[in-house]
Amino acid sequence: MTDDQTPFLDIRNAQKSYGDLEVLKDISLQVQRGQIVAIIGPSGSGKSTLLRAINDLDPLTGGEVWLEDMQINKKLPHRQYEKHINQVRQNIGMVFQHFNLFPHLSVRGNVTLAPKMLKGLSDAECDKLAEEQLDKVGMLDRIDYYPSQLSGGQKQRVAIARALAMKPKVMLFDEATSALDPELVEEVNLVMKKLAEEHMTMVIVTHEMGFAEAVCDRVLFMDQGVVVEEGPPSKMFRNPDNERTQNFLKKHLANANR
Amino acid sequence: MDIDLMMRVYPFFLKAAWVTVQLSIYTAILGLACGALGASMRLSRLAVLRFLGAAYVSVFRGTPALIQLFILYFGGPQIGIQLNAFEAGVIGLGVNIGAYMTETIRGSIIAIDKGQREAARTLGLSGWQAMRKVILPQAARLMIRPLGVNINALIKGTALVAAISVVELTYTAQRYIGSTYKPFEMFLLSGVLYMIIIYGTGQAIKWLDRRARIV
Ligand SMILES: Nc1ncnc2c1ncn2[C@@H]1O[C@H](COP(=O)(O)OP(=O)(O)O)[C@@H](O)[C@H]1O
Ligand SMILES: [Mg+2]
């Protein structure tokens, strides 16, 4: 980690409502460059909403999101906003629970689509980029396969390579391993660990407490739209202060061991 | 059954069948154009366009195609639209089938998982780039068969333009019945030719659909 103390990613007083339903109630979160933050909490607590607010996929109803010195969720006239947000999103990689690979494109096509369109890379540069990124996630030998020919774990690794190909400053993971068969989780976790070693800034929504404890610098426990407690993983997983955190972890462990 | 008569007149029916084919092709092209335009209006960000698209669909699906054709061909001149029968047939049928195609195209587009669009937008693609490179290539594959159903209906619908005297298969049958008094043979002849056209088109669509399958 760097000793740079101005936040790299800064969520200030995030609020989000769907009608009367308050999904995020005044959440603030600062992430330093190279830091890895895990968000845990029961289903429906607002984890995805918070993560998706970071690249304005689900715009907030209140509060601000900043990446370095740029406000992400700026209020602008439609055209200007679109230009701004497309630019911003190139800096933020996102990995989804259900991979969302493009089924009509090969693995290579998936990885190079955005760099080709947005950065104007030549075919040769695209190939080199695809090879680099796929090598990193151990999928180089599948470069000419189509998504339907891959296992879940392989799909997710390609999805990570696709996000990395844009050279993002931050990576967001929304339950990246939740849809995977248990025996495929580890290969994806290994890729994420590798990114951690390279000091990629990451925000990870996860149900894998062991993984979170191993790679994250900080853990947030969310419940009903608020951050109930946060701290280093050793404390959060071993002796959390808050009763709700304790109950959640107890229940979660019971389920995991069943 | 008067086979001799059928052998004697069938060249004229072949000629008429060619008119039906041409009518179908032009109508399909116009219909697809109207369908693409209609669907983009139905899916627009702007409420005005969405409303216009919806109005187009409900007006043209909610009234008989024959009445639409009559309004255009017989009513047109009254408001300064002068078209020959063939042109009126193509435009009338094309705009009509376009309303159905609007719904087909729109349906195929909204059937694509919204995660696809999100993934594309997350990478930084604009809404239009995501549509063009991610959504449409997938939706296009989905819409081949239902568009085939629309085209099948369109080909059969070309029979309507007999009512405005376009010399196609149905009109030709009627005309020969007038001189021969043999409706069974004449309608049979045109029916067989319709079937050939429709079968051929159906096979072409199946072939396209198979070719477009995602691995
Ligand atoms: N588009 C939406 N419309 C209405 N409610 C929504 C919508 N998206 C999410 N919610 C609600 O917001 C709450 C938080 O959802 P989410 O952020 O997905 O939770 P988590 O990821 O922690 O499981 C849930 O109660 C969910 O039902
Ligand atoms: Mg979620």
pLDDT at B56 over 80: yes
pLDDT at A248: 92
Return contacts of A175-181, CB within 8 angstroms, 24+ apart.
A175/A48, A175/A97, A175/A205, A175/A206, A175/A207, A176/A95, A176/A96, A176/A97, A176/A204, A176/A206, A177/A206, A177/A208, A177/A211, A178/A97, A178/A207, A179/A97, A179/A98, A179/A99, A179/A152, A180/A152, A180/A153, A180/A156, A181/A152, A181/A153
A92/B123 Cβ within 8 A: no
Q: Is the pLDDT of residue B133 over 70?
A: yes
Domains of chain B plus CATH, in order, are 3-214 (1.10.3720.10)
Q: Residues B2-17: pLDDT tens digits?
A: 889 988 999 999 999 9
Ligand 1 centroid–CA A238 distance in Å is: 29
Mean per-residue pLDDT of chain B: 95
- DSSP bridge partners of A171: A93, A202
Residue A33 corresponds to which tokens in the numbers above?
Answer: 């460059």
Model confidence at A1, in pLDDT bands (50, 70, 90)? Answer: very low
Pocket of ligand 1 (CB under 6 A): A 18, 21, 23, 41, 43-49
What's the pLDDT score for residue A66? 95
Chain A / chain B CB contacts < 8 angstroms: 68
Predicted confidence (pLDDT) at residue B48 exceeds the cutoff of 70: yes
Partner-chain contact A87 B126, CB within 8 Å: no
* Ligand 1 atom with least separation from CA of A175: 21
Q: What is the 3-state secondary structure (H, E, C) of chain A?
A: CCCCCCCCEEEEEEEEEECCEEEEEEEEEEECCCCEEEEECCCCCCHHHHHHHHCCCCCCCEEEEEECCEECCCCCCHHHHHHHHHHHHCCEEEECCCCCCCCCCCHHHHHHHHHHHHHCCCHHHHHHHHHHHHHHCCCHHHCCCCHHHCCHHHHHHHHHHHHHCCCCCEEEEECCCCCCCHHHHHHHHHHHHHHHHCCCEEEEECCCHHHHHHHCCEEEEEECCEEEEEECHHHHHHCCCCHHHHHHHHHHHHHHHC
Chain B: residue whose CA lies nearest to A149: B215
* A 50-69 near B (Cβ less than 8 A): 55, 57
Q: Are A94 and A164 in contact (CB under 8 A)?
A: no
In angstroms, rounded to a whole number, what is the distance separating the alpha carbons of residues A239 and B7?
96
Residues with Cβ within 8 Å of B132's Cβ and at least 6 positions away in sequence, in order, are none
Place of tokens 């062991």: A210
Separation of alpha carbons A173 and A169, rounded Å: 14
Partners of A102 on chain B (C-beta within 8 Å) are 116, 119-120, 134, 138
| Residues of chain A positioned with their CB less than 8 A from the CB of B141 | 104
Task: Name which of A89, A146, A159 is nearest B124 (Cβ-Cβ).
Answer: A89
Contact of A17 with A59, CB cutoff 8 Å: no
B16 residue type, one letter: A
Q: What's the whole-model pTM score? A: 0.90
Atom of ligand 1 nearest to the CA of A16: 12
What is the pLDDT averaged over residues A31-43?
95
Tens digit of pLDDT for each residue in B151-200?
A: 999 999 999 999 998 999 999 999 999 999 999 999 999 999 999 999 99
Residue-level pLDDT at A2: 47
> pLDDT at position A198, please?
94
pLDDT at B61 over 60: yes
pLDDT score at B215: 56
pLDDT of residue A257: 60
Distance CA A226, CA A238 (A): 21
Shortest distance, CA A82 to any CA of chain B (angstroms)? 7
Condensed to tens digits (0 to 9), the pLDDT of residues A44-80 reads 999 999 999 999 999 999 999 999 989 999 999 999 9
Asked if residues A221 and A230 have their Cβ atoms less than 8 Å apart, the reply is yes
Q: Given pLDDT bands bounded at 50, 70 and 90, which one contains residue A176?
A: very high
A188-197 pLDDT per residue, tens: 999 999 999 9
**pLDDT value of residue A253:** 78
User: Smallest Cα–Cα separation from B93: which of B44, B22, B39?
Assistant: B22
Task: Return phi, psi of residue B213, to 5°.
Answer: -55, 140
CB–CB of B134/B95 below 8 Å? no
Distance CA(A248)–CA(B2), nearest Å, equals 87
Q: CA–CA distance from B211 to each of A146, A202, B137, B169, B201 (Å)?
A: 16, 42, 13, 32, 15
The answer to whether A188 and A158 are in contact (CB under 8 A) is no
Residue-wise pLDDT for A207-257, tens only, equals 999 999 999 999 999 999 999 999 999 999 998 989 999 999 988 877 766
pLDDT at A255: 72
Q: What is the pLDDT of residues A75-111, one digit of tens each?
A: 999 999 999 999 999 999 999 999 999 999 999 999 9
Q: Is the dihedral angle over the CA atoms B135, B141, B142, B143 positive or is it negative?
A: positive
Among chain A residues, the shortest Cα distance to B113 is held by A100
Model confidence at B140: pLDDT above 70: yes
pLDDT (average), residues A136-147: 96
Nearest-angstrom CA–CA distance, B51 and B16: 40
| Contact residues, chain A, for B129 at CB < 8 Å | 117
pLDDT of residue A4: 55
Nearest CA in chain B to A82: B126
Sheet holding A36-40, edge to edge: A92-95, A170-174, A201-205, A36-40, A218-223, A226-231
CA-CA-CA-CA torsion sign (A242, A246, A249, A251): negative
- pLDDT attached to residue A126: 94
CA distance A249 to chain B (A): 30
ipTM tops the 0.90 cut: yes
Cross-chain Cβ contact A94/B122 below 8 Å: yes
* pLDDT tens sequence across A115-137: 999 999 999 999 999 999 999 99
pLDDT surpassing 90 at residue A6 = no
Q: Please give all residues whose CB falls under 5 A of ion ligand 2, grouped by chain where several chains appear.
A: A 48
With a pLDDT cut of 90, the percent of chain A lying above it is 91
Average pLDDT over residues A173-185: 94
Question: B-side interface with A, Cβ within 8 Å?
Answer: 45, 113, 115-116, 118-127, 129, 133-134, 137-138, 141, 214-215
CB neighbours of residue B62 within 10 Å? 8
| Residue B214 confidence (pLDDT) | 65
